[in-house]
Structure 1
Amino acid sequence: MISRRHFLSAGLAALAGSSAWANAPAVSLRPLARKKGLAAAHVSGLDTLLARSGLQGKVACAVADAKTGALLEAEGGAAALPPASVAKTLTALYALDVLGAEHRFTTRLLAAGELRGGVLHGDLILAGGGDPMLNTDHLAELARALKQAGVREVRGAFKVWDGALPRVKTIDPEQPDHVGYSPAVSGIALNFNRVHFQWKRAAKGWSVTMDARTQKYRPEVDMAQMRVKNRALPVYAYTDKNGTDSWSVASQALGQGGSRWLPVRHPGAYAGDVFRTMARSQGIVLGTAKVIQSLPQALPLAQHQSPPLPVMLKAMLKFSNNLMAEMIGLSATAATGARATSLKQSAAVMTRWAEAKYGMKNSQLVDHSGLGDASRMTPDDLVKVLVAAHQAGQLKPLLKPFPMRDRKGKVLKSHPIKVVAKTGTLNFVSGLGGFMTAADGSELAFAIFAANTAARAQIKRADRERPPGARGWNRKAKILQQMLIERWGQVYGS
């Protein structure tokens, strides 16, 4: 986890693709007759593959020629199923279209008062700009810049503005409280809105810490607290105590030691807590942060800018980071001028954008990350979007390689089919969408969605992290994805 955060916070510029970021035209899929040949004659039919998969629930898929848009094959192409994180492909295109490839997110330090002789006679404001990649190192740099700007003392209050985006307590309320992939969302974020909980066995009980660590810093925080309770279950319990994230953990689950990233529910307070520590290291003493949603008139003192948007989108897609998807999607909606106060409202704006731009008519999303299982997308819709994005050169450079594997899961490095795609996984939900290059050089766009919604509906909220049966079901879904790609490569690209 630390290496992931380090990667996302530094040196990402080399990941940006060089393709143009022009708007993609809407493309209508046209049916095309299958190839007739020796290779195709010995390939199992699509119906046969689906029947043999042993996968309970619904499977839908579609594949098209990526260059012409000609539809080659589909099964249940109009069936709307949960896309899981495959939805992030649409979010990436939405952000590029609305915000532009040159967009950067800016976090600022502002002075609401006069600076005289090193003393700020007024309030200091840490103003979030919707940057989902802001981390502790960046706050340390801002604290140094504050000192370089001549500030030695702040006579007024210390405030954190998080009003650039709406406040959302958790990305998906159906997820357990303790999962780090469903944190709070607001106009400021730090360390992907996760706090590091570590415990070690001590002479009496356990020694516990809650900090905002990176590879360079480990500032402990006050706004997130942990107590060890003598119990077996639940492993974690959460309470909001007047703006403090109050956690307890079961002693019988701790063992000798370990660590875990927990979600932050008060991002503004979290960022303010850590910045106070960094400012104090520069000799600047600040009061407890007050989180505000309205930004007063103020003068700039220092700022931090994120990497360019394509770099961030590549990281978002590679690591399937939910917070990045939500904050970038919300920022794009705000840039359209639409007023959205929730993820669902913002996702609806994105859905309408996709219908107007790509003709995506039978899909409806409830967030920008795909974490909410109420989102629906059809393979036909996604393939239509993929073909248009391919023709514009937008999405393919951002997607990560999807390795072909043998039946035991071993990567086949010399496999003739090359795939770049976005995966999507929830319990009893599996999706895959992207591009494949067959042995003869044919480029295909494809979408595969599978879901057992009945089984998913039976999962208790407390069991959402590892429900019985989900792992085996998802393994079968991934095997089926490989088999479908193999089939398409032989039938349409050999």
Structure 2
Amino acid sequence: MRGFSFRWRAWAGVAVAAVTVAASAGPAAAGKGDGPGVGAGIAAIMKKHRYAHARWGLLEVDEKGRTLRSGNAGEFFIPGSAAKLFSVSGTWRTIGGGHRFTTPVLAAGHRHGAELDGRLVLVAQGDLSLGGRTGPRGTLEYTDIDHTYANDVPGATLTPQNPLAGIDELARQVRRSGITGVRGDVVVDSRLFTSSPGLDPAPTPLIVNDNVIDLLTTATSAGRPARLTWRPHVAPYRVESHVRTVRRGGTTDIDVTASPDGTSITLTGTIAAGAKPVLRVSQVRDPDAFGRTALIEALGRAGVTVHAPATGPNPSGLLREQPVRGQRVAAYVSPPYAEYAKVILKVSHNLGANLGICLMAVHAGGHRCDDGFGPLTAFVRKAGVDPRQVQLLDGRGGNPVDRITPAAFSRLLRYWERTPEAARFRRALPVLGVDGSLAGSCTRAASCPAHGKVFAKPGTVAGYDAVNDRLAVGAQTLAGYLDAGHGGRHTFFIGVNGASAPGIEGVLAIGEDLNRIAALLQERAAGTAR
């Protein structure tokens, strides 16, 4: 299950204005309760006590556009991270699945042999990974529970790649250009775009390691301090651990706190002997200063001496002209955007989904991230979706105003099936029992015929209900494709708004219920139901 938009800020009383994207309608959206029945197995799931006050939505459409099952298909649902189907699709089709981000370093000033009398300028281009996830074959790597969810979802793990790989490569290229000394400063030019209040987490033009510090705690023996490793090591960030190892079977509970500027991080709590290592993250509060220091340190490792102090604020006041004029002495070229889309969809990457809004703005010649909703609206129209059925103020599906109808999801998914990139888009979605957010369900084909045959994006919106001391699950959704056999594929949406759970495990159980419904639909569609 996963795909969390876990902290719904509306429940904290934040008021925002809605931006609605709209498109042309396809066949009339199905009304309440029409279409064939859902079957006893699905009905039994929907009648569980946790859904006593909830509202369900269901829509299944075959490859010929015929509605097979429908309930509340024309009504708005809180989408959660299933909204990423729209933001990622819009970005993919606007900037192109083959688009590569080229992040240059410019030498502005005068060269005197190997010395630069001037400054190096890293011009940030909105590259989400900057080499930090890139595998040896140029693909972007991920784990089924991403490190960005480590503080909210149990079991998050790290990819093995060096999060500073792109920064290190830029530094090596600077050295290969013949520069061994910089008498001026190093500056990050992050003027590509400015973020918008509705985007949380806020995208930044320069992103290193998803703008977080990874903190991995490993148990030792009972009564002794736990072992801590962390990355990336960039000054002036410092980490202190006060986590103790307790007896086997004891409580594992680790908290992270940070100083106001984020550079002093402290871990407290306990980890049980024999427990798996526990990952936590701490936010980088100033990505430009962090990236500048990381580059200066990488230059030092590459044999380039920078005379300016490595730490401190990014000296953006040195950037007077737009664009910066100077000799390109390094450039990091990313994998194609389709690889980024895969990671965003597989692990429900919130920062990456919001970044897509900003990238569409830049593509359209804008500077504010809000300018990206115009291209998103244009894409939604092109996809044949009714514009009044898609309401978004972010890319991740976590804003209080976000609403999408099941019919809109179906039209979007059917649009992709008519494109040359249909298979690549479908494979970018989590696959039931195989990878990403759906890896933990239906794990064996022998006991679950739908294994590997459901391609879908889940979403969750949940927050604390203080009246009942439980979690209120604003939304749990799942939208994607069912393999119907013989080359056929059905689009589907399953969603429930207004459920409740005693804790995080209960939220995960609601996701499992939707996964089971999807499996039952797939088995029926393919004729393998037992």
Select 1:358's aligned residue among 384, 400, 409. 384
Counterpart in the other structure of 1:225: 238
Q: In structure 2, do the counterparts of structure 1 residues 272 and 227 end up closer, same or farther at CA, with 3 Å as the change threshold? A: same
Matches for 1:319-330 after TM superposition, within 5 Å: 319-330=347-358
* 1:333-352 deviation digits (Å, cap 9, x = unpaired): 2212344346xx64576256
Ranges in structure 1 where 5+ consecutive residues have no aligned partner: 1-24, 33-39, 173-181, 213-219, 456-466
Q: In 2, Cα distance between the equivalents of 1:419 and 1:150?
A: 53
Select 2:490's aligned residue among 444, 456, 472. 444
Counterpart in the other structure of 2:192: 164
Counterpart in the other structure of 2:249: none
Select 1:401's aligned residue among 405, 412, 431. 431
Shift of residue 100 of structure 1? 1.3
Question: 2:510 matched to 1:476?
Answer: yes
Q: In structure 2, do the counterparts of structure 1 residues 319 and 473 end up closer, same or farther at CA, with 3 Å as the change threshold? A: closer
Indicate conservation of the 8 Å contact 1:338/1:349, yes or no: no
Question: 2:304 matched to 1:278?
Answer: no
Q: In structure 2, do the counterparts of structure 1 residues 339 and 161 end up closer, same or farther at CA, with 3 Å as the change threshold? A: closer
Q: In 2, Cα distance between the equivalents of 1:276 and 1:380?
A: 51
Question: 2:81 matched to 1:61?
Answer: no
Question: 2:361 matched to 1:333?
Answer: yes
Question: 2:267 matched to 1:269?
Answer: no
Tell which deviates more after alignment, 197-206 or 104-113.
Answer: 197-206
* 1:340-384 deviation digits (Å, cap 9, x = unpaired): 346xx6457625642464333222122212244542211111111
Q: In structure 2, do the counterparts of structure 1 residues 259 and 42 end up closer, same or farther at CA, with 3 Å as the change threshold? A: closer
Counterpart in the other structure of 1:195: 213
Q: In 1, Cα distance between the equivalents of 2:257 and 2:103?
A: 32
Select 2:26's aligned residue among 19, 25, 28. 28
Indicate conservation of the 8 Å contact 1:61/1:379, yes or no: yes
Indicate conservation of the 8 Å contact 2:459/2:478, yes or no: yes
Q: In 1, Cα distance between the equivalents of 2:214 and 2:44?
A: 48
Q: In 1, Cα distance between the equivalents of 2:393 and 2:351?
A: 14
Indicate conservation of the 8 Å contact 2:124/2:190, yes or no: yes
Query: What amino acid sits opposite 2:88 in the alignment?
Result: A
TM value normalised by structure 2:
0.70
Shift of residue 482 of structure 1? 2.0
* 1:88-126 deviation digits (Å, cap 9, x = unpaired): 221222112210122111111111112220111111111
Query: What amino acid sits opposite 2:443 in the alignment?
Result: V
Q: In 1, Cα distance between the equivalents of 2:294 and 2:123?
A: 14
Counterpart in the other structure of 2:335: 307
Query: What amino acid sits opposite 2:331 in the alignment?
Result: Q
User: How many aligned positions are there?
Assistant: 425
Q: In structure 2, do the counterparts of structure 1 residues 398 and 197 end up closer, same or farther at CA, with 3 Å as the change threshold? A: closer
Indicate conservation of the 8 Å contact 2:265/2:282, yes or no: no
Counterpart in the other structure of 2:415: 388
Indicate conservation of the 8 Å contact 1:198/1:208, yes or no: yes
Shift of residue 46 of structure 1? 6.6
Shift of residue 489 of structure 1? 4.5
Q: In 2, Cα distance between the equivalents of 1:53 and 1:411?
A: 26
Report the secondary structure of 2:265's partner residue.
strand
Counterpart in the other structure of 1:138: 166
Indicate conservation of the 8 Å contact 1:170/1:265, yes or no: no
Q: In 1, Cα distance between the equivalents of 2:29 and 2:369?
A: 41
Question: 2:478 matched to 1:432?
Answer: yes
Query: What amino acid sits opposite 2:126 in the alignment?
Result: G
Q: In 2, Cα distance between the equivalents of 1:204 and 1:117?
A: 55
Q: In 1, Cα distance between the equivalents of 2:502 and 2:47?
A: 23
Query: What amino acid sits opposite 2:458 in the alignment?
Result: T
RMSD of aligned alpha carbons: 3.8
Tell which deviates more after alignment, 361-370 or 282-291.
Answer: 282-291
Indicate conservation of the 8 Å contact 2:195/2:358, yes or no: no
Query: What amino acid sits opposite 2:189 in the alignment?
Result: W
Tell which deviates more after alignment, 50-59 or 308-317.
Answer: 50-59
Report the secondary structure of 1:131's partner residue.
coil
Indicate conservation of the 8 Å contact 1:316/1:325, yes or no: yes
Q: In 2, Cα distance between the equivalents of 1:157 and 1:275?
A: 11
Q: In 2, Cα distance between the equivalents of 1:259 and 1:234?
A: 9
Report the secondary structure of 2:389's partner residue.
coil
Report the secondary structure of 1:144's partner residue.
helix
Shift of residue 53 of structure 1? 7.2
Shift of residue 433 of structure 1? 0.9
Query: What amino acid sits opposite 2:445 in the alignment?
Result: K
Shift of residue 274 of structure 1? 1.5
TM value normalised by structure 1:
0.74
* 1:472-492 deviation digits (Å, cap 9, x = unpaired): 144134324423541464268
Indicate conservation of the 8 Å contact 1:125/1:158, yes or no: yes
Report the secondary structure of 2:332's partner residue.
strand
Counterpart in the other structure of 1:419: 454
Q: In 2, Cα distance between the equivalents of 1:346 and 1:239?
A: 34
Indicate conservation of the 8 Å contact 2:103/2:332, yes or no: yes
Q: In structure 2, do the counterparts of structure 1 residues 234 and 259 end up closer, same or farther at CA, with 3 Å as the change threshold? A: closer
Q: In 2, Cα distance between the equivalents of 1:48 and 1:168?
A: 43
Report the secondary structure of 2:260's partner residue.
strand
Q: In structure 2, do the counterparts of structure 1 residues 206 and 484 end up closer, same or farther at CA, with 3 Å as the change threshold? A: closer
* 1:42-69 deviation digits (Å, cap 9, x = unpaired): 9439766533575242221211123x32
Q: In 1, Cα distance between the equivalents of 2:265 and 2:41?
A: 53
Select 2:104's aligned residue among 101, 108, 122. 108
Q: In 1, Cα distance between the equivalents of 2:112 and 2:345?
A: 47
Indicate conservation of the 8 Å contact 2:390/2:405, yes or no: yes
Q: In 2, Cα distance between the equivalents of 1:167 and 1:224?
A: 25
Counterpart in the other structure of 1:74: 70
Q: In 2, Cα distance between the equivalents of 1:396 and 1:490?
A: 20
Indicate conservation of the 8 Å contact 1:131/1:327, yes or no: no
Indicate conservation of the 8 Å contact 2:254/2:271, yes or no: no
Counterpart in the other structure of 1:490: 524
Q: In 2, Cα distance between the equivalents of 1:468 and 1:31?
A: 35
